[in-house]
Amino acid sequence: MLVCDGITSDGVEPLVKLEGVELIFGKLEDIEHPENIQGIMVRSATKVTEEVLEKLPGLQIVARAGVGVDNIDINAATSRGVLVVNAPEGNTISTAEHTWAMMMSLVRNIPQANQSVKQGEWNRKKYTGQELYQKTLGIIGMGRIGSELAKRAKSFSMNVLVFDPYFSAEKQKELSVTSVDLDTLIQQSDIMTVHTPLTNDTRKLLNYDNLKHAKKGAFVLNCARGGIIDEEALLHYLDSDHLSGCALDVFEQEPPVSRSLIDHPNVIVTPHIAASTVQAQKNVAYMASDEIKSYLLNQPLKHA
Ligand code: MLT
């Protein structure tokens, strides 16, 4: 079993004592006999493409220690009979907390003010921020992470609008949020945050056409997947001062090649670390290992 992307031994505990399982920690390209690999565990860095699958003829299972499976060619894996499993629950809290930290940093200019003081400046007026209190937060995607974010927003006395075609009326009531269509959410939100997977339906979900209807001065966050928001459109509306700022943990290309958004003074960024906490990484590796263990022992799978 090949364990990639810096996943550590304490996370793969369910597999450590399993008879017949040898764990190899490292990179696929360093493996001497890839033909002997029967299972592989990855985060997002390793791309399990058709070519990679080609090099692993003995592969039976790919386990994603995390939520997004967009780094795995599922069709290619399925057509070869390779099972793909993930661990969608392990990093929910960390991702919601990071999004919250980004939101507060964004509206209070914390990264910019921090940088300025460290450079010897003392400019209190320049870094005047905004309160979250009684602002409207628009959450696009009300899965686990979106729902956790809604709870935090309510405790800050924010109004919460949500857009998610699969969100139940019961859940809406439980979280005291209001379901609206995407256009209404864009038009009425002071802050918008996306929490969907990246699929053909969600690619460029926020784009030139709909972001022009955003409130003047709105803020936008993406701590989900690069590509859900059109980066060129974001830059356009930031440059024209229609949007006040944006916070990005993820990019269309990672690491990003274009510097235009990153270098923009009203954009704050982190390097796809929303799920990078000690707790979340242990959780996702543990849950992915558990799925592999169930597969090897012919037991029912939770997230295949
Ligand atoms: C996920 O999909 O689980 C997160 O984006 C974190 C990661 O890529 O590992």
Query: Which structure tokens are listed for 294?
Result: 């169930």
The finding on whether 289 has its CB within 6 A of some atom of ligand 1 is no
For 131-147, the pLDDT digits (tens) are 999 999 999 999 999 99
**What is the CA(247)–ligand 1 centre distance, in A?**
17
Contact 44, 249 (CB under 8 A): no
- Per-residue pLDDT band for 152 (boundaries 50, 70, 90) equals very high
* pLDDT value for 9: 86
The finding on whether 44 has its CB within 6 A of some atom of ligand 1 is yes
If one residue of 7, 69, 71, 91 were mutated to test the ligand 1 pocket, choosing by the most ligand atoms within 8 A of its CB, it would be: 91
Which positions are annotated as active-site residues? 225, 254, 272
**What is the CA(117)–ligand 1 centre distance, in A?**
33
* Cα 168 from Cα 21, distance rounded (Å): 42
For 118-131, the pLDDT digits (tens) are 999 999 999 999 99
* Cα 46 from Cα 29, distance rounded (Å): 10
Show the DSSP H helices in 126-229 as ranges.
144-155, 169-175, 182-188, 208-211
Please determine, for residue 303, whether its predicted confidence score (pLDDT) is greater than 90: no
Fold agreement (2-90+277-296, 92-269): yes
Atom number, ligand 1, closest to the C-alpha of residue 91: 3
The finding on whether 67 has its CB within 6 A of some atom of ligand 1 is yes
DSSP secondary structure letters along 64-112: ESSS--TTB-HHHHHHTT-EEEE-TTTTHHHHHHHHHHHHHHHHTTHHH
> What dotted CATH number matches 2-90+277-296?
3.40.50.720
The finding on whether 283 has its CB within 6 A of some atom of ligand 1 is no
Atom number, ligand 1, closest to the C-alpha of residue 5: 9
89-117 average pLDDT score = 98
Burial of 256 (0-12, 13-18, 19+ CB in 10 A): middle
For 240-289, the pLDDT digits (tens) are 999 999 999 999 999 999 999 999 999 999 999 999 999 999 999 999 99
- Per-residue pLDDT band for 167 (boundaries 50, 70, 90) equals very high
If one residue of 4, 7, 43 were mutated to test the ligand 1 pocket, choosing by the most ligand atoms within 8 A of its CB, it would be: 43
The finding on whether 98 has its CB within 6 A of some atom of ligand 1 is no
The finding on whether 91 has its CB within 6 A of some atom of ligand 1 is yes
CA angle 203, 158, 250 (to 5 degrees): 30
What kind and span of H or E run contains 237?
Answer: helix 231-239
Burial of 192 (0-12, 13-18, 19+ CB in 10 A): buried
For 177-231, the pLDDT digits (tens) are 999 999 999 999 999 999 999 999 999 999 999 999 999 999 999 999 999 999 9
How far lies 304's CA from each of 61, 82, 288, 294, 300, in Å?
Answer: 10, 11, 10, 11, 10
How far lies 192's CA from each of 195, 219, 287, in Å?
Answer: 10, 6, 31
Q: Give the DSSP letter of residue 280.
A: H
Per-domain boundaries in the chain? 2-90+277-296, 92-269
CB neighbours of 37 closer than 8 A, spacing ≥ 6? 1, 2, 24, 31, 56, 58, 59
Q: pLDDT exceeding 70 applies to what percent of the chain?
A: 100
Please determine, for residue 10, whether its predicted confidence score (pLDDT) is greater than 90: no
Atom number, ligand 1, closest to the C-alpha of residue 276: 6
Angle, helices 278-296/92-107, rounded to nearest 10 degrees? 150
- Specify the CATH number for 92-269; select among 1.10.600.10, 3.40.50.720, 2.40.160.20, 2.60.40.420: 3.40.50.720
